[in-house]
Homo-oligomer: A and B are copies of this chain.
Amino acid sequence: MIIDAHGHYTTAPAGVQIFRATQIASMGAPVKHPVNVSDDQIRASLENGQLKLQNERGTDVAFFSPRASWMGHHFGGPLVSRYWTEVNNDVIKRVCDLYPDRFIGVCSLPQSPGVPPEKGVVQELERAVNDLGFVGCNLNPDPSGGYWTDPPLGDRYWYPLYEKMVELDVPAMIHGSATCNRAFTTTGSHYMNVDNTGFVQLLDSSVYKDFPTIKFVMPHGGGAIPYQYARFKGLSIMAKREPFDEFLSRMFFDTAIYSQAAMEYLLKTIGVDNVLFASEMIGGVQAEDPLTGRQYDDNKPYLDAIEWLTDDDKSKLFRGNALRAYPRARARIERIESGG
């Protein structure tokens, strides 16, 4: 069983984008128009997209959420964000129903700058988990899209969401959306900054003390964190925080990083117990690597090539750690494994 723990529906049919476009036209009085997407369109988008690559690359199940750069929390206020997020989570639910052995849902949240999570975010998480059967969420620490106007993740502002995450036993992946600040590029500097910043916000907080069982996942191999491990450890010592390695042992990191050297660096720095295999395929980096002749996001071969990984290590990386981070996925994965 190979779980790819980080995938977005980047290939969603045009009907989803048409819904989004209508939101600009009806921005003053948001309306939840019907979304015109057929099952055949969904099948085609996946069978020529993520599912095709899953088959070619030998991965079994993807944790699948709405396209991250399109979450667009900076646009339109809480009602616009709510309708848009519901539509996208509902489309993910249809994906999961059409291919129950291949996709497990992770939701996006209807965030808006300055709108506290109890006003919509908590409710949508509850709906996604209880009604749609999703197993996690993506949390954007900067709904402003590059102006960083919201309180840091350690602030009690976010605690209603954390309470619900703990109650439902679902993790949050710290994931940015598009930037509307031209200082940044979305998938380049902004995503990396979101990763670093979200990590440091949690490090500089008592969130794990207040929620001992809460789970967070760092995407993109953790931005700068593994490479700058010594800087962050030194800063933690200076601040007399909880021992840095204990903090790190509570975080999960995915492998959505695209070179052999970086993959090995990640595993050696973070350790095999806290890393989840993930490709973020058909994601931000869609190009062929001239070094390998493969797409950059075809990154499972990097793990396969690491000779010092034992079978037990690989079982953790490809399956076990994903189930530790996303406990609600366990029953589904076991049912798939038993062919049921």
Q: Which of B146, B228, B237, B238 touches A192 (beta carbons < 8 Å)?
A: B228
User: Quick check: A259 and B147 within 8 Å, CB to CB?
Assistant: no
User: Quick check: B220 and A223 within 8 Å, CB to CB?
Assistant: no
User: Quick check: B231 and A285 within 8 Å, CB to CB?
Assistant: yes
Residue A187 is within 8 A (CB to CB) of chain B in the complex: yes
Please give me the residue from chain B that is nearest to A151 by CB atom: B182
Nearest Cβ distance between residue A174 and chain B, in whole angstroms? 12
Please give me the residue from chain B that is nearest to A198 by CB atom: B189
Oligomer copy total: 2
Q: Mark A235-270, 1 if CB is under 8 A from B, else 0.
A: 101100000000000000000011101100100110
Classify chain A's interface size. Answer: 35 or more
Q: Which of B193, B196, B287 touches A238 (beta carbons < 8 Å)?
A: B287
Given A150-B183, A269-B261, residue A227 in contact with residue B231 (CB < 8 A): no
Residue A181 is within 8 A (CB to CB) of chain B in the complex: yes
Nearest Cβ distance between residue A279 and chain B, in whole angstroms? 13
Nearest Cβ distance between residue A336 and chain B, in whole angstroms? 31
Please give me the residue from chain B that is nearest to A200 by CB atom: B189
Chain A residues numbered 144-195 whose CB sits less than 8 Å from any CB in chain B: 146-152, 181-185, 187-189, 192-193
A192–B195 alpha-carbon span in the complex (Å): 11
Q: Which of B151, B193, B284, B288 touches A196 (beta carbons < 8 Å)?
A: B193
Nearest Cβ distance between residue A67 and chain B, in whole angstroms? 16
Residue A232 is within 8 A (CB to CB) of chain B in the complex: yes
**Residues of B with C-beta under 8 A to A286:** 234, 238
Please give me the residue from chain B that is nearest to A148 by CB atom: B183
Q: Which of B148, B151, B224, B265 touches A224 (beta carbons < 8 Å)?
A: B224
Lowest 7 CB-CB distances: which A-B pairs, in order? A224-B224, A227-B227, A230-B258, A234-B285, A230-B259, A189-B200, A237-B287
